[in-house]
Structure 1
Amino acid sequence: MHRRLIAPGALAAASVLLAIPASAASFTPGAPGIGDPYYPAYGNGGYDVSHYDLRLKYQPATDELEGTATLLAKTTQDLSRFDLDFLLDVSEVRVNGVAAAFSASGEHELVVTPKSPLPKGTALTVVVRYHGVPSSKQAYGFTSWHRTPDGGIGANEPESAWWWFPSNDHPLDKATYDVSVLVPDGTQAISNGTLQSTSSKLGWTRYNWRENKPQTTYLATLAVGRFDVTTGTSEGGVPVINAYSKDLGDNDGAARASVERTGEIVDWLSGYFGPYPFSSAGGYVPNTTTGYALETQTRVYYSPRQFANGANTSVVVHELAHQWYGDSVSVKGWKDIWINEGFARYAQWLWSEHEDEGTAQQLADYVYASHPADDAFWTVKPGDPGPENQFDGAVYDRGALAIQALRNAIGDDAFFAVLKGWPQKYAYGNASVADFQRYAEQVSGKPLAALFDTWLFQPSKPAAPAARAASVAPSARGAAPVQPKSWKRIAATNDVHGAVR
């Protein structure tokens, strides 16, 4: 052993330096919101999550959920404390193995104060133990946890995670997931990705699901109930897992006739959007009273009401299109919602062509002619609709109209190159409307600022010259175009994401 002698004065000075780091003043709390102007309190600052490991136990009879969530993350600033978005009752929080102080704040914040400040770039393992009855919790006057006769469902947009796991709840912070759920024998637990394993012991069965590609928090889903599960593989080689509540009643046949075409539709969409970006596809139809569907990653949530009038492949096309536009490539901010909804709607227009029920151009002409200049439809700006209009029908229909205008402006070769290239350029990441405009200009070689401004950002109906230039205009002598055969089924999905509030 070699001992280094230090003068007493130097030792005292060193002790002071160790006790009071020179950078102590730089440690500040992470922001309680990630900075999205539409939802200022959503998400959090100061850290970035790379993986969620959720180990849960759920009792369908009482809606009681117990959980241990382990978050792997890294600090993005010198951090004195940080928030998680969460509603259930917390019994313990540990940061890097050490017990941390915690408290509830605001409508949905869990404030965590580590025992010691965390320098920027520190790897974090955050463990949260919790319990509660999700259906008893509300934030801002609503719930995103839906009770069913045989269990419960976590699915909503733009938020659903708070009711079943703590998170950094904003699309900017994507992560991979392991979701392990213990439920009574005879009950299934459905989640995203692939089912890794199941095991049963003492009257309980554990389901272990894994989503190995980055996923935003609102796209994570959990469904517990009594399901009939079907499995298969698409012709293109994509594994497909679907699930149907056993008590769907009269909607059962139509639901299956629609959702069982998932593999076919995934392969068809791949021809337009490129290779399917995830390890599995599918959907589930629980016995809920909600009216909306949601593109929960790899495992789409469908309300039975989507099939009340018979088979509905159009809604399946819409939700599966989101797997590229919205799931693999997610919004940077919620104002960029057009990239999700406009392209999912346009996929329905392409499906209409495929089914010989009206071309995309005919649908565009019909939308343009159906809304007079003084219709409030034109006051909604799809490129930045505002939180109150985020899921307005205009974001869907005017949004798809803008895409047809783009197609006509740059020609089919460039348009379909954009359609397929975009999900590959930003795969598993985030992008904005401005990013999309730049990409379309790069691929087409044409300036597109005026077109994007006219169709996405002006709160008025594009004038006849702009409409003619975009090949969307009323037919001769001012007569409205004939309603395409597919229109009613497409329009029926205008409120497909009309979340419960």
Structure 2
Amino acid sequence: MVSWPPHRIAHVSRSAPVVRTAGFASALLALTLTACGGGVHGTPGGSGVRDPYFPKAGNGGYDVTHYGLTLAYDPDHHHLTGTAKITARATKDLSAFDLDLKGLDVSSVTVEDRAARFTRAGQELTVRPHDELDKCETFSATVRYSGTPLTITDADGSEEGWLRTADGALALGEPVGSMAWFPGNDHPSDKAAYDISVTVPEGLQAVSNGELKSETTTGGRTTFRWHAAEPMASYVATVAIGHYDITPSTTKNGLPEYVAVDPTQAKASRAVLARIPEIMEWAEYNFGPYPFSSTGAIVDRPHDAGYELETQNRPVFHGAPGLGVLVHELAHQWYGDSVTPKTWRDMWLNEGFATYAEWLWEEDHGGDSAQETFDALYRGDYEDDSGDSEAIWAFPPAKPSDAAHISAGPVYQRGAMVLHKIRQTVGDDAFYEIIQGWAATHRHGNADTADFTAYVEKKAPDKDFSGFWKDWLYGDGKPAHP
């Protein structure tokens, strides 16, 4: 037994050219105002995007394009000081907009460099700019804040947000923890580029997403500046502060690799982390071109988080990872980080894919075939942490029972079984075309389960998937036939 945790413009007469010109300009102006606002009083953007499991997560009325986060952390006093400059585009005429921020004290907010009024209520920071924002307008908002950052306990009991560690801190965001350390639109449907600057006491390192652009020390404090150019969901943003053994390198195709390991985990991690280039080469062969500009890993102590997370560019591990979990988290860079779910209901598109990547790795490296793993799961040869071999049938992968179960076994294992059933149905060649094409079609974007099923049906038009989706993806209980 194995346990597993587009408006057409009407024709204008050729006579009366002056009137025509004025009318044409008026028509264009009217169309512009209709499409992009202006001349209409704005309304508040609204709190929450009505996610089925986290209805208050995210906010309406705007789309963030870039976060500039300037952070300073004092580990001795567990004190965080931050400035967040958020560049966004209004998707409606706005009189106000919300940001997600839980805890911390806000000292000022400006919008387009003018002081803005703001209020706090729960996780909502409501900002009322001096001048209303027009639909399609690009604007910047700067929030200055400080205080003791919070650790958030999820519905499943795991901890996220800002986790204090023995020698620093670890910031993790799935599903809603990022609002504990920076204000933003904290929902996977709104992805953005990031620049993250972190100042810490000299002697400590600060590791984040993307590429390290500079490291400077002044007056006993060191500032690390990180740049993540590709769109990133807030929940896979991270900061890791502490003592690390740093290993920068490149893969044989020139991809920068940055690995940070807590010294207590260095020896146990060395051999498995050395296989990152091999795993990346294998993954590119199977899943298509790598979607980001660097790779790597962060390995912290076993009890700092208690779980792994597919933080973009470099996943976080609690202690030395096993080979399977390393494959899993690196596969997430394609499925989850690049192709990101529209809502938290679609988690199986993350976890089912990453779990199936583990099966494929085993199959390609002398272990059980994916079919053998599938059969063993169907028979009940695997148990969850409570010893229940039937737990994967508790709910369908596309419909987690509640927020506490978006990361439960059916999402992972039964999600992987859905992918294997597709492979059985279409054959290997078509299957790999589907999973590579899916990653390419939605690269750096968002997608949901309906998008996926439509994509599969389009790529295999001679197959009838209706009963399969009903039984394996949405159906309750164990399907009658494997």
Q: Work out whether the TM-score is over 0.5.
A: yes
1:36 pairs with one of 51, 61, 78: 51
Matched, 1:385 2:400: yes
Letter in 1 for 2:415: G
Shift of 1:379: 3.0
- Alpha-carbon distance between aligned partners in 1 of 2:222 and 2:188, rounded to the nearest angstrom: 32
Letter in 2 for 1:271: Y
Shift of 1:138: 7.3
Could you tell me whether the CA contact under 8 Å between 1:187 and 1:224 is conserved in 2?
yes
Name the SS for the 1:73 alignment partner: strand
Shift of 1:35: 2.1
Change over 3 Å in CA distance of 1:137–1:38 after alignment to 2: closer
- Alpha-carbon distance between aligned partners in 2 of 1:139 and 1:116, rounded to the nearest angstrom: 38
Shift of 1:415: 0.3
Matched, 1:283 2:275: no
Could you tell me whether the CA contact under 8 Å between 1:278 and 1:298 is conserved in 2?
yes
2:194 pairs with one of 177, 188, 191: 177
Residue 5 of structure 2 corresponds to which residue in structure 1?
none
Name the SS for the 1:186 alignment partner: coil
Could you tell me whether the CA contact under 8 Å between 2:391 and 2:410 is conserved in 1?
no
- Alpha-carbon distance between aligned partners in 2 of 1:94 and 1:288, rounded to the nearest angstrom: 41
1:50 pairs with one of 46, 49, 65: 65
Name the SS for the 1:368 alignment partner: helix
- Alpha-carbon distance between aligned partners in 1 of 2:261 and 2:93, rounded to the nearest angstrom: 47
Matched, 1:127 2:145: no
Shift of 1:354: 2.1
Change over 3 Å in CA distance of 1:101–1:379 after alignment to 2: same
Deviations 1:218-270 (A, max 9, x none): 01001111111001112233211010112x2xx43222322332222111111
- Alpha-carbon distance between aligned partners in 2 of 1:45 and 1:324, rounded to the nearest angstrom: 27
Spell out the pairing of 1:102-501 with structure 2 (5 A cutoff).
102-106=118-122, 108-135=123-150, 143-246=160-263, 248=264, 251-287=265-301, 289=303, 290-304=305-319, 307=320, 312-370=322-380, 375-386=390-401, 387-445=403-461, 446-464=463-481, 467=482
Could you tell me whether the CA contact under 8 Å between 2:161 and 2:181 is conserved in 1?
no
Name the SS for the 2:43 alignment partner: coil
Letter in 2 for 1:38: Y
- Alpha-carbon distance between aligned partners in 2 of 1:41 and 1:396, rounded to the nearest angstrom: 25
Shift of 1:135: 4.1
Could you tell me whether the CA contact under 8 Å between 1:176 and 1:213 is conserved in 2?
yes
- Alpha-carbon distance between aligned partners in 1 of 2:150 and 2:338, rounded to the nearest angstrom: 30
Residue 19 of structure 1 corresponds to which residue in structure 2?
none
Residue 89 of structure 2 corresponds to which residue in structure 1?
74
Shift of 1:111: 1.1
Which deviates more from structure 2 when the two are superposed, residues 209-218 or residues 29-38? 29-38
Which deviates more from structure 2 when the two are superposed, residues 338-347 or residues 79-88? 79-88
Letter in 2 for 1:184: P
Q: Among the aligned pairs, what percent are the same residue? A: 44
Larger proportion of strand: 2
Report how many residues are paired.
435
Could you tell me whether the CA contact under 8 Å between 1:219 and 1:297 is conserved in 2?
yes
Letter in 2 for 1:319: E
Shift of 1:60: 1.9
Name the SS for the 1:134 alignment partner: coil
Deviations 1:391-438 (A, max 9, x none): 111111111111111100011110010111111111000011111111
- Alpha-carbon distance between aligned partners in 2 of 1:459 and 1:422, rounded to the nearest angstrom: 26
- Alpha-carbon distance between aligned partners in 2 of 1:411 and 1:138, rounded to the nearest angstrom: 43
- Alpha-carbon distance between aligned partners in 1 of 2:121 and 2:359, rounded to the nearest angstrom: 45
Letter in 2 for 1:441: E
1:97 pairs with one of 113, 116, 134: 113
For the aligned residue pairs, the C-alpha RMSD in angstroms reads 2.1
Could you tell me whether the CA contact under 8 Å between 2:154 and 2:404 is conserved in 1?
no
Deviations 1:298-338 (A, max 9, x none): 0101011xx4xxx6110000000000000001001111111
Could you tell me whether the CA contact under 8 Å between 1:380 and 1:389 is conserved in 2?
no
Normalising by structure 2, report the TM-score: 0.86
- Alpha-carbon distance between aligned partners in 2 of 1:294 and 1:417, rounded to the nearest angstrom: 27
- Alpha-carbon distance between aligned partners in 2 of 1:341 and 1:136, rounded to the nearest angstrom: 24
Letter in 2 for 1:410: V
Deviations 1:8-29 (A, max 9, x none): xxxxxxxxxxxxxx98874211
- Alpha-carbon distance between aligned partners in 2 of 1:131 and 1:25, rounded to the nearest angstrom: 36
Change over 3 Å in CA distance of 1:288–1:61 after alignment to 2: farther
Name the SS for the 2:44 alignment partner: coil
Residue 76 of structure 2 corresponds to which residue in structure 1?
61
Could you tell me whether the CA contact under 8 Å between 1:76 and 1:121 is conserved in 2?
yes
Residue 492 of structure 1 corresponds to which residue in structure 2?
none
Letter in 1 for 2:448: S
Stretches of structure 1 that go unaligned for 5 or more consecutive residues are: 1-21, 468-501
Residue 17 of structure 1 corresponds to which residue in structure 2?
none
Shift of 1:377: 2.8
Which deviates more from structure 2 when the two are superposed, residues 295-304 or residues 132-141? 132-141
- Alpha-carbon distance between aligned partners in 2 of 1:348 and 1:371, rounded to the nearest angstrom: 17
Shift of 1:160: 2.1
Name the SS for the 2:56 alignment partner: coil
Deviations 1:45-84 (A, max 9, x none): 0111000001111112222111111000011111111110
- Alpha-carbon distance between aligned partners in 2 of 1:379 and 1:81, rounded to the nearest angstrom: 42
Could you tell me whether the CA contact under 8 Å between 2:299 and 2:317 is conserved in 1?
yes
2:42 pairs with one of 19, 22, 27: 27
Name the SS for the 1:206 alignment partner: strand
Shift of 1:285: 1.1
- Alpha-carbon distance between aligned partners in 1 of 2:252 and 2:371, rounded to the nearest angstrom: 30
Could you tell me whether the CA contact under 8 Å between 1:94 and 1:128 is conserved in 2?
yes
